[in-house]
Chain A
């Protein structure tokens, strides 16, 4: 089923990129006609490279999956290694579900990422509006100050933020995990760039109709920058979902753990049981892999767009 989804997405992706490709690829062919045979050879070459790289990028995960599917009777250290389990079993997955509260961690991760994304979308686009479209005192200095925060490594700030979170009683809370990621300069910059492309006439006519600045922001500007909001959401989500160092510091109550922390703890307490660790790791990446398969168009489009703008 997963594959079918991939295929559909892939068709869409192609349709998207064809427009950009077609002018590039078609004309040269008129200059130098390729015989069907050289074209065939060329395709064989391209596909071998593509498949080789797929083995490099996906292979390690498949090897882990194979270990997770091996039964207790099978030697996982067999030499040469066996890629196909003799008697594939789901028993390791059943065991790991007892060994760590997967659903709880999934809930924690989802909640933290969801709130972080929403906060970034709202706070960044609020701040971006005046920076893109209003005249006011101190605009440049505020913008430069915001941009300069991108150069300050979080690893320097994490000690005072940790102390601050302790003072505010935010250790072992969702708010504590979310706090350092609630707004980013990157987000403000990205949305500002998007706001700047919108014609002023739209805003003026809305003002004549009696809209205030907030209404203009919400009803006129925000709907027009949806693609950039999606880009920001994807970036924030990826950062928040995979975050490890900060949650590691701010959480010591295991029931508050996010998925990466949960898997790390699992690997620590069952360090010799590789079947269990493998099963836990596979389970913990399934949600993001499934999410990615359905949303890949947005992930890939988002990163490519972020690259052009950022």
Chain B
């Protein structure tokens, strides 16, 4: 018996309708809005490249863009490298390892709002972190209220929250590495550390790529931790592109201008994805 001709389309219809409604239609609309002066109150007027012009001339835009890249440069390497060691640690066959795996995953399931509040308390002027610094003989720091540290303090929280998630991705990768490779390395007299460098890391390459793509895309979109912990301040020192979009669109109602910034964000995300895909296909050819 043959399947009917329209069956596949019927199956696809509900999902594609939703995707059309929440992605394709809004995409077209967003690009259109970026060429208008829409502010919710009045009907949109076509203004050509004016929003893009304003954007290029805005110091705040360039500052936010720079800080977004700073975010990318610090957070992505940290989230690519640190969870590898964490995954190796929780891949040890010791009693109670399941408990530790779960403990490291707790920040992942906790909402970013509570994580932000928790860390605000840790970062407080008379908080635990400054106390620890004091014990080590260092002077205390106004983590979230100083322009030179605020964005880094927030980055640390982004990294902290992501560790457990990427750890599991690497753990999945580790458990698929065949054991005879370690055996061979051990026979050749390689130390545990050398085994990690020469066996584990190269064979984790696919996982490393997945983590770099996922963490760079999520770093581009960072918002919640900034909103909760610094509100973009002090003096815009922790504002990123997405924060700027939110602020322009929903506190100043500059929907047109915010859409123009959104289009730029889209462009950058696309470039990053393409670079990642290129690197990936090259790696696949080598392997």
- Interface size counted on chain B using CB atoms at 8 A: 101
Give the CA-CA distance A300 to B172 in the complex, in Å.
10
Of the candidates A56, A57, A183, A300, the one whose C-beta lies within 8 Å of that of B168 is A300
SS class of chain B's interface: helix, strand, loop or mixed? helix
Among B33, B122, B168, B177, which residue has its beta carbon within 8 angstroms of that of A303?
B168
Of the candidates B11, B100, B117, B169, the one whose C-beta lies within 8 Å of that of A50 is B100
Asked whether, in the complex, the Cβ of A157 is within 8 Å of the Cβ of B22, the reply is yes
Please, how many angstroms separate the alpha-carbon atoms of A126 and B108 in the complex?
A: 29
A263:B113 contact, CB within 8 angstroms: yes
A149 to B23, Cβ gap below 8 A?
Answer: yes
User: Which partner residue on chain A sits nearest B126 by CB separation?
Assistant: A77
| Contacts between chains A and B (CB distance < 8 A), count | 300
Q: Is the Cβ of B25 less than 8 Å from the Cβ of A296?
A: no
A153 partner, pick from B4, B107, B262, beta carbons under 8 A: B262
Interface bracket on A: 35 or more
Q: Confirm or deny: B58 has a beta carbon within 8 angstroms of a beta carbon on chain A.
A: no
Contact present for A159 and B119 (CB under 8 Å):
no
In the complex, are the beta carbons of B182 and A61 less than 8 A apart?
no
**Most A CB within 10 A of own CB, among B5, B172, B223, B250:** B172
Given contacts A31-B187, A142-B12, A300-B101, is CB(A285)–CB(B114) below 8 Å?
yes
Query: Which residues of chain A come closer than 8 Å to B107, judged between CB atoms?
Result: 57
Set of chain B residues within 8 Å of A164, measured between Cβ atoms:
21, 25-26, 29
- 8 further A-B contacts with Cβ under 8 Å, apart from A142-B12, A160-B25, are A57-B163, A61-B118, A64-B117, A67-B121, A127-B15, A159-B262, A213-B11, A249-B250
B residues near A (Cβ < 8 Å) are 1, 3-5, 7-9, 11-12, 14-16, 18-19, 21-27, 29-30, 33, 40, 86, 89-90, 92-94, 96-114, 117-119, 121-122, 124, 126-128, 131, 160, 163-165, 168-169, 171-173, 175-177, 179-180, 182-183, 186-187, 207, 210, 220-221, 223-224, 227-228, 242, 245-246, 249-250, 255, 258-259, 262-263, 265-266, 269-270, 273
